[in-house]
Chain A
């Protein structure tokens, strides 16, 4: 059905473009997430390696560049997905009721995407603010992790890994590039792996903090 407002505002490609933005920004965020994981895991090689990497990032102004990149991509992603989050209260109620009614796992994971997404946004803003304000070095990080921020980082790690893996699953499912069951397995394995890497990294920081 076409209504007057819709006919006037009509650009047939909007929906397609928004879809594209959502996917591309999502993929970029996943790439960033995993790169970030590997960079922080430099602590596995010792405090020296970590600080050298941090110094390198600082020297070439990579830190502010990353923050700008993230803000842009975050905004693009949020702008694109917000139309998907069932907005109005009425719709919210329908979707929750629907998920309960049909007891379908993938439908639940959709609701969780919205919830985890919002939580990640909040946590990531705090994280980015802290890091850009204080700068990066092993001493600061371990102190933070040891003195109360452990739960914060653990939550951010789990939430973002979950959100990323469900998001990737959806992209692949929607465009039909791989079989669903094998996809679930591969993504599950990757998530476990990345969460493990992150957990070990956090553990190292925590023990460093305890020593200091």
Chain B
């Protein structure tokens, strides 16, 4: 398997290249196991990677497929494409979604374009997930950070082009997936390029019904070029282009005609640049997203409407790991980013001038912060860790037109300047060689988003209300705790986590009867305001069991409850869900069976237009093998998802749009060079 191969290579590189690299990895996740010895931490890393490998069951599926299987992550679904990740039920401005440490702001006021859509799984190296209590090292947040790390190019110095071609088909959406990867390295120079094309028709749900407006088409291309300046310094340039068109969003009243993202960065990676400095990365980046949303293809619209948006972000960060003493290390980061957003809406009525307004009045967010993750192994049984971050964030409206819009809401000075403080402490205690326990406490703050501050009559298809921003919103503040227990045996690993969050000034839309709706058919107007508080409690568990070398068993379980100040359930909380996978690998052949089960969700938020969601049980089977095809190493993978053709939807699926039914897929990958 190519992935494992690449991955092993990378791992080997890390192990041999520098001890620092691997110890660097140890704080890449909040998982307490990774706070320990180097060897263990790499194991932990490979555990996570193995999980990803596992869950990458259907290799022609998008990145959402991988994220969905991490117990901490839930996905808010508005269409087949562009599902929005949530960490422990927190999403949007409450979490950071980063690509190789870069901030990317979507250009869609309806959140159709989370940053996760810009990385093709074929380029994914690692999903770094940091939950609440330690999730703010890379940016003030109360919910955590997902950082998608793309693969780096190992320098083979083969002076030969090598790569792979993949081709896949999925029956539910009659979708094609074609991908080409090319690598070349010579001396100090290495380059890696990839192109992926996806074409998906409207899929059929369980029972056979087509879901209209669920099609999409996209092309994603990326190039990474690196140059070894000296033994310790690597200069790297990355570019990702992503073009999507004719993307349907069955749960929304609009689709996307065209969306394009251009993401570029230049980074300098230093390995052991100083006596106590282990790894240092400095990156400067810029990205632009353009998004053209319209309802041209929808039948019976009262009025044709276009909603284009754009975002422009640039930023830089410098990040490194320092070993203070044998027992203490500290990771530090300093970063700055600046984001500009604008979105508008134009409606057309015959014989009248077009109706034009700004939905995101031109605005800017400048953010600068410094963060530190300090770790101290006090003795063989105790480890202490603390993450501290400070951010200075300024937001402003940047055009006269934008200011005029917001003045209508009675706000003359909509600019904001906030100092955000995030701090956490974690103690890890090894109770037995096979059992450890960790406890984290944190105080976190996060800035309201552009939508929450400046949104102008943004229609929410889930609850049917027009939303208005509130430039005076206070930052959300959270007090949270997490306790986890971890069993580590030779053949078994179990981890359970219990978490609690108490959020003050919880940002939420409240009906404001003094405003009249803008959108035809909307129920009313909600203004973003701060609820006194809200709380979230949850549990996650995962089990890895390997009774014999050929057999792997992985099972995860999660459950979350959320309530607002009045005791009403919070919206968009997934019910109890459990996935189990058993995989049998024999030589070049594997067979994998999966179950995915969720209970009914009855704790629903009526205020947000939710209804009850029934439970479901899904069965997937996958298989694959490697062989030589005309002397080329070839992988064939195939499987059936939703074997029972269950007609179902998840609680976080907007509009109760049914998910794909039985899906037969096949993927062929040929390696060359």
Chains A and B belong together in one complex: no
Give the B-binding residues of A (Cβ under 8 A): none
